[in-house]
Amino acid sequence: MQDFKDKEFISSLLQEAKFGLWKMEVEKNKGPKIYFDKTALDILGFKNKKATPDEVYADWLNRVADDSRDTTKHAIKKMQEGLYSEAQIYWQHPILGEINLWFVGIKEYEKQGVKVYKGMVRGDPDTKTVSNGFTFFGIAQALCRDFESVYYVNIKTGKYKEYISQGKFKEFRLQNKGSDFFKESIENIPKIVYVADRKRLLDFMSEDNLRPALKALKTLSIRYRLEVNGNPQFYRLTATPSIAGDENHYVFGVQNIEENVKIEKEYSERIRLATEMANTDALTGIKNRLAYEGAEEHLNEEIQAGTISPFSVAVFDVNNLKKTNDKYGHETGDTLICDAARLICTTFTHSPVYRIGGDEFAVILLGADYFDREKIFSKFKKAVTRNRKDGNVVVAGGYADFIFASDKCVADAFSRADEKMYENKKKLKKK
């Protein structure tokens, strides 16, 4: 079959299909000039025959709808880079109002400081924007706006083509089309992916893993890091079917989520700090009643599940706090509470200490502290005796083991420990 050389024949075909032709010339230090053929002028509704090419360009550009300006700029930028460009935009027709226009174009040549671009325009005057101007093309653009690269892949044959390349991902200069998407992706991973994430992404992109996974789950995504200017940055690769019912063609989108991850980390840190503050006693800096209730709930769940390890509950109370407050004021009383917290914490070094009331404290003895509980309590009582002689804080205390055979919850052990604490409190007052 011979090549087509009949320009008139091709022109008539384009005209019949309502495709108009345009040419744009850009000369250094001068404004762009644009020329339209008769079909294009009819589509655009331009009737001013006396308008100069630069005036036509200005008029055309001014009529681009505000929500299509970024799309137009992006399309022009691609042509300036020597790439094929296409865009569907909303445009203000002189008579019909806002309509849809589809432009395609490419840089043809540059000669003596003049760059020449050529392309086609197609528009249906009867297709006006409705429902706030949303079209399928517009929705597709909106969905892909956050992606730095979008590939259209036939997972059966491996053939692929890149339709979007922008942002940092563009700097990697990967192939924009090929015949074996899986193989070429595997080859590129060691070149651009952060070393700690390579194996995981290699497993994900393996043809033997990915193809059946896509057919089973339809949409898949993975988060990983790329080395951008020597620094790891978070990206997400998402694969999803291109058209419902088509099991072979998938769209692969690469999205830079570095800012999202930073926001997630900041949010998690705020949650952690807020939780920590909510579970911390403001006066002493140790865990508060809310934290104790949370620990108690967790232990009760383990008791119900039969997975609980041996533990004891210790209860403490500061002696003579009311007298101290009445005689010396609450500031002195607060100092007494802080001294009591310090004494308990320095004794029970491997177990969480909680302030559960004004002058009440509790400790859940786990691990080493549980097995050494008698020795530790003996050490605690000796410290209290010394404090009593020296005129320092006196703290009454008692502990009780959780009894597997009879106890139903933590509160059972707590009640026995509380009774022992009051017995100790009475003895200390008699001395």
Q: What is the pTM of this model?
A: 0.45
Give DSSP secondary structure letters for 372-390: THHHHHHHHHHHHHHHHHH
pLDDT digits (tens, 9 = 90+) for 116-148: 988 888 875 444 433 333 344 444 555 566 788
Residue recorded with tokens 């500031």: 331
**What are the structure tokens assigned to 360, written together?**
């009440």
Long-range contacts of 331-340 (CB under 8 A, 24+ apart): 334/283, 336/393, 337/283, 337/284, 338/283, 338/284, 339/392, 339/393, 340/316, 340/393, 340/395
Per-residue pLDDT at 143 = 54
Model confidence at 15, in pLDDT bands (50, 70, 90)? low
pLDDT at residue 372 greater than cutoff 90 = yes
Element (H, E) at 20: strand 19-27
Give DSSP secondary structure letters for 59-81: HHHHTB-GGGHHHHHHHHHHHHT
pLDDT digits (tens, 9 = 90+) for 390-425: 889 999 999 999 999 999 999 999 999 999 999 999
Q: What percent of the chain has pLDDT over 70?
A: 89
Per-residue pLDDT at 276 = 75
Element (H, E) at 309: none
Q: What percent of the chain has pLDDT over 90?
A: 35
